[in-house]
Amino acid sequence: MYDEDKDLYKEVYLENKLTKNEIRQFEQFDYLTEVEIEKISDLIFDLALLAKKIITE
Amino acid sequence: MEKNKLIKFQKFGKKNEVKTNSSKEVWSYTRVSSIDQKDNYSLLNQEQDIKKYAEENGYDIIHPFGGIYESAKEDFTRKEFQKLINAIQKSRRRPFAVIIYKMNRFSRSGGSGVGLAEYLVNELGVHLIEAISGMDTTTEKGQLEIYRKLLSAREENITRLEHTIPGMESFLKAGNWLGVAPMGYDHYGTRVHDFDKRSMQQNIRLNEVGKKLQLAWQWKSEGETDVEIIRRLKELGVEITSQRISAMWRNIFYCGLIANKLLKGNVIEGNHEAMVSKELFLKVQDIINNRKQGYTVVKQPEERPLTGHLFCSVCGNKLTSYEHKAKKLHYYKCQNCNGSCINTSTPLSRLKNKGAHEMFVDLLDSYQLDDKFLDLFKIQLEKMLGSVSKEKRNEDSLVKKQLTELKNKKENLEERFAFKEIEYELYNRLLTKINTQICEIGPKDDISENKISNLKSQLNKSVEFTQNISKHWVSASIGNKKRIQKVLFPDGLVIDTKNRQYLTSKVNSLFALKRSISDNIEDKEKGLTTNKSDKSSTVAGTRIELVTSGL
């Protein structure tokens, strides 16, 4: 069965994930810690991946 | 008297009748053996000689057949040749003969070719004429001579193979590949058609498509279906048919090995780069073989997408799901707590008792992507969508390059014809070929504009998705429903089946309650219960406990 944790599709796009610096360009996130920024980066990436799947199916 | 009696029986007498066709209408057939010969005037020479012979002998060529490359080793695998034979069989007005430049153009199969010639001459009454010698099958002696030529064409082939096969075997044993390299590879060598890829030594390299096919192998090894793999490859810009992908799984070339009939059952290490490891190749073989022996695909219950995602508010255990087959109704149930059970959908007879799905839709409907993350989300998407089209952009530039080359060729050709460097026939022939190639590529000027508008449309749709997740959850496939659930509520949902409400333990931090609801909740002192009498229309029966993440 399909296992999303092993989704290599995700790996293909991983190189396009937003970097911490790119997120810090926005004033409202500049004060956040490294861990918090990293979490936002993960969440945004997963959401974008999901949106792409939904709109292309 | 006796003689007169026999006259009445004269009509039953047997004569040695030979079907004759007095027409001067003939057909012609030309061919070359390989694509390399197709462009070296050989076909043109054959056509010219046949035409000349016909003119000199008063024949009228009605249908020219062939004009392509097809090996004459076997007769019935040749499409154009088969077309000729079928046309003769079906024709009401058969030709007097078929003119062939030389008999080895007709067939090199030996006995089979002789049988075919005999069938045409004796059964269908169509003769064979060899233009180069003027020999034909109209006389018995001529027939025998033609048959002898057909047999010697076969002999020529065998003799040639005796010389070439040892060379081919040595070539293979040295780790080289015979023929065109499989999908995913660029083939460089002495006999490739693309002049840019001609090199003294064979070199077969993995190309960009090959790198994406590597992913396909990985997916296959994880048990993914071919249909899903084809779909995912398409998303990455690689089109592949189910037959082709199926053949790929069985081709050991992809793990760096070479098999060929000339190696007599042996397998050797190739010089080319392997797309996948031998271990991965064998793993895929195991999957394919197991599937044939009854591998069963576990079907996800389409009607119960929240299975594995709901937790009991009493004991904390995961809810299971089942179907009441007699009633054809589906339920989520806690196996630990007696009576803790909820129907998946709202029953028509009891509309007040909302089902778990309707409650979930209401819950989703209360959330949307927080405005402060919207710009980040758009940038992330742009980067992502741009990465896919990067590959396509490369393809487009290649296509444009091809078009320019073809247009230059066309101009050169017209120039050569204008200066009478080439005959009209050759000019016309090459011009048609170039025009066909240009048409096949097609106009690509609008590629970039389409892409930009497509990108914008995808961005808009994605943003719309984040604002109306409930709508998309309802219409999504089972897989995507589960993905939405996991992204929105990564730890699952706690459900109070008795009071019919979700007690969300953790919501994706990027999402915020929609304005009307958050206002409503703030009024009710932040995240406390909404009872059935004064609940918000969008969060029916749902208690929301906002989670403060690390943000």
pLDDT tens over chain B, length 551 residues: 556 677 777 777 776 555 556 678 999 999 887 766 655 678 888 899 999 999 999 999 999 998 877 776 677 778 888 889 999 988 888 999 999 999 888 888 888 888 889 889 988 899 999 999 999 999 989 999 999 999 988 888 888 888 888 888 888 888 998 888 899 999 898 777 777 888 788 889 999 899 889 999 988 887 788 888 998 898 888 999 999 999 999 999 999 999 988 888 888 899 998 999 988 899 898 888 865 444 444 556 788 999 989 999 989 899 999 988 888 889 999 988 877 889 898 877 777 788 999 999 999 999 999 999 999 999 998 888 775 455 555 556 667 777 888 888 888 888 888 888 888 888 888 888 888 777 766 655 555 566 667 778 888 999 999 999 999 999 998 888 988 999 999 889 999 988 889 986 689 989 988 765 555 555 444 433 333 333 333 333 333 333 333 34
Q: Is B249 exposed, middle or buried (0-12, 13-18, 19+ CB in 10 A)?
A: middle
CA-based nearest residue in chain B for residue A44: B377
Look-up of token digits 């904390």:
B316
For residues B212 and B191, what is the distance between their CA atoms, to the nearest angstrom?
A: 27
pLDDT of residue B1: 52
pLDDT of residue A9: 56
For residues B63 and B30, what is the distance between their CA atoms, to the nearest angstrom?
A: 12
Residue B7, helix vs strand vs coil: helix
pLDDT of residue B547: 35
pLDDT of residue A1: 38
The answer to whether B126 and B94 are in contact (CB under 8 A) is yes
The answer to whether B493 and B308 are in contact (CB under 8 A) is no
Structure tokens given for B168: 């081919």
Nearest CB partner across the interface for B223, out of A1, A22, A36: A1
pLDDT of residue B363: 92
Q: Does the distance separating the beta carbons of B551 and A43 come in below 8 Å?
A: no
Please give the interface size between A and B, counted as residue pairs whose CB atoms are below 8 Å apart. Answer: 108
Q: Does the distance separating the beta carbons of A43 and B510 come in below 8 Å?
A: yes
Q: Does the distance separating the beta carbons of A46 and B480 come in below 8 Å?
A: no
Q: Does the distance separating the beta carbons of A32 and B223 come in below 8 Å?
A: no
Residues of chain A found within 8 Å of residue B458, distances taken between Cβ atoms: 52, 55-56
* Residues in A lying within 8 Å of B, measured between beta carbons: 1-4, 6, 8-9, 11-13, 15-18, 22-23, 26, 28, 32, 35-36, 39-40, 43-57
Task: Give the ipTM.
Answer: 0.91
- Least trusted range by pLDDT, from A7-21, A43-57, B503-517: A7-21
Q: Does the distance separating the beta carbons of B472 and A47 come in below 8 Å?
A: no
The answer to whether B309 and B481 are in contact (CB under 8 A) is no
- B residues 259-318 closer than 8 Å to A (CB): 297-298, 300
The answer to whether B225 and B295 are in contact (CB under 8 A) is no
Residues of chain B found within 8 Å of residue A21, distances taken between Cβ atoms: none
* Residue type present at position B462: S
Backbone angles phi, psi at B245, to 5 degrees: -70, -35
Residue B136's DSSP bridge partners are B129
pLDDT of residue B533: 33
Residues in chain B: 551
pLDDT of residue B420: 81
Backbone angles phi, psi at B285, to 5 degrees: -60, -40
Best mutation target, A12, A20, A22, A49, to test chain B (most B CBs within 10 A) = A12
Residues of chain B found within 8 Å of residue A15, distances taken between Cβ atoms: 387
- B residues 360-419 closer than 8 Å to A (CB): 369, 372-373, 375-377, 379-381, 383-387
pLDDT of residue B544: 34
Q: Would you call B333 an interface residue with chain A, using a CB distance cutoff of 8 Å?
A: no
Q: Would you call B454 an interface residue with chain A, using a CB distance cutoff of 8 Å?
A: no
Residue B97, helix vs strand vs coil: strand
Alpha helices by DSSP H, B204-315: 208-221, 226-235, 242-250, 278-292
pLDDT of residue B27: 94
Q: Would you call B476 an interface residue with chain A, using a CB distance cutoff of 8 Å?
A: yes
